[in-house]
Structure formats: C-alpha cells, structure tokens
C-alpha cells in the first residue's frame, strides 16, 4: 500500500496578507468566503477567474495568486467591490495584488510593452502614425492635441517622475534600456 499523503495546506504563510494589511486592506480578515464576489463577476462567467478564491489564496499566502494569469482577467468593473457583504474593497485589493505580482516579476510581455509605451510617450495610446494627425485635422481639432504630444519637455517630466518613484527599476527598464543602447552603439 502506498503512503497516504495529506493534501491539506499545513503551513499558512502570511506574507501576502500582511502586505495587504500594511497597505491598509485589513478587511481581508473579514472575508467569510460567501462567494458573492464570484457570483456577480462578468469575467468569471467566461474565464477561470474566481474572485473568492483569489481572496482565499491571498489569505493563505499562496504565491500562485500572484503568478496565475487570472489575476489579469479582472476588468476592474467594481461589481464585486460593491456587492461584498463584508465590505471588502475587493477590486482595489486585486489591483494591489497585481502590484505585488509585478514587484515579484510576474508581468505579461504585452503589459511590459504598454509600460514602455507610456514611458516613451507619456500616453498609453499615443499618436504613433501621422494618419491620426490627419484624422484630427479632418474633424476640425488641432493637428496635435494639447497634451504631452505638444512638447518633448512634458514627456521628460513624466519620465522623471517614473524614475523618481523607481518604477523604471521595478520592471527593469533601466537594465533593458541600457542593453539596447549598447547594442545600438555597436
């Protein structure tokens, strides 16, 4: 006969829930696992995202809550946030968990590209083709909108802030940027 193995979680790590508490989300301890959040989640209707289980895994400190792709399938629609009978600010907590995930290196390549776009242009969706300028003109608005696009000094401001906060280091742009620069010089 084979040895019996317990599938119970014998050790509860509290690093993730402690991070949540430190960030002001002490409510995590109030979750009664009722599942109301999952029941109303429009993403859970079509994906494996289970909001209740995200909260449970965060309480238990399971690293998979940060590495599972499901964490990125929440559209931040705030339905669970509004309906939680224990008043957990669930959506905000999911966003905080995403921050933790990124800090630990869990980020999708597409999202990393988006970050670089934001750093390079100051926009998540920039004017990256002249057709958008032509289109603007045809609708009677300025060819260049009065945003960061008017002057590179504004993009610099955004970049300075991103560096000041240290976000560039979090996702290691600094490293990538330098590598690319070196490659270009060669």
Which residues contact other proteins by CB under 8 A? Answer: 42-43, 46-47, 69, 72-79, 81-82, 87, 89, 95-96, 98-99, 102, 107-108, 110-111, 114-115, 118, 122-127, 131-132, 134-136, 138-141, 145-148, 150-151, 153-155, 157-158, 160-162, 164-165, 167, 170-171
For the CB of residue 34, give the shortest distance to ligand SF4 in the complex, in Å: 4
| Residue 21-50 contact track with ligand SF4, rule CB under 6 A, x = bound | ----------xxxxxxx--xxxxx------
| Residue 17, number of CB atoms within 10 A of its CB | 20
Q: Is the C-alpha dihedral spanning 53, 27, 104, 45 positive or negative? A: positive
The residue (of 44 and 122) whose beta carbon lies closer to ligand SF4 is: 44
Report if residue 53 touches ligand SF4, rule: CB under 6 A. no
Long-range contacts of 42-46 (CB under 8 A, 24+ apart): 42/75, 42/77, 42/79, 43/73, 43/74, 43/75, 43/77
Contacts of 125 (CB under 8 A, 6+ apart): none
């Amino acid at each position: 006969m084979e040895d019996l193995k317990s599938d119970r979680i014998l050790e509860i790590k509290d690093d993730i829930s402690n991070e949540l508490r430190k960030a002001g989300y002490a409510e995590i301890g109030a979750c009664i696992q009722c599942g109301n959040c999952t029941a109303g989640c429009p993403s859970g209707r079509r994906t494996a995202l289970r909001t209740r289980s995200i909260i449970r895994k965060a309480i238990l400190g399971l690293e998979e809550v940060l590495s599972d792709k499901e964490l990125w399938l929440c559209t931040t629609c705030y339905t669970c946030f509004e309906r939680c009978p224990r008043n957990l600010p669930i959506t905000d907590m999911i966003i905080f968990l995403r921050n933790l995930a990124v800090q630990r290196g869990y980020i999708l390549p597409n999202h990393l590209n988006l970050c670089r776009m934001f750093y390079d242009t100051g926009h998540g969706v920039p004017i990256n083709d002249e057709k958008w300028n032509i289109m603007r003109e045809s609708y009677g608005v300025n060819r260049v909108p009065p945003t960061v696009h008017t002057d590179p000094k504004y993009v610099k401001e955004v970049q300075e802030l991103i560096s000041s906060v240290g976000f560039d280091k979090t996702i290691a742009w600094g490293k990538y940027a330098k590598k690319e620069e070196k490659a270009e010089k060669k």
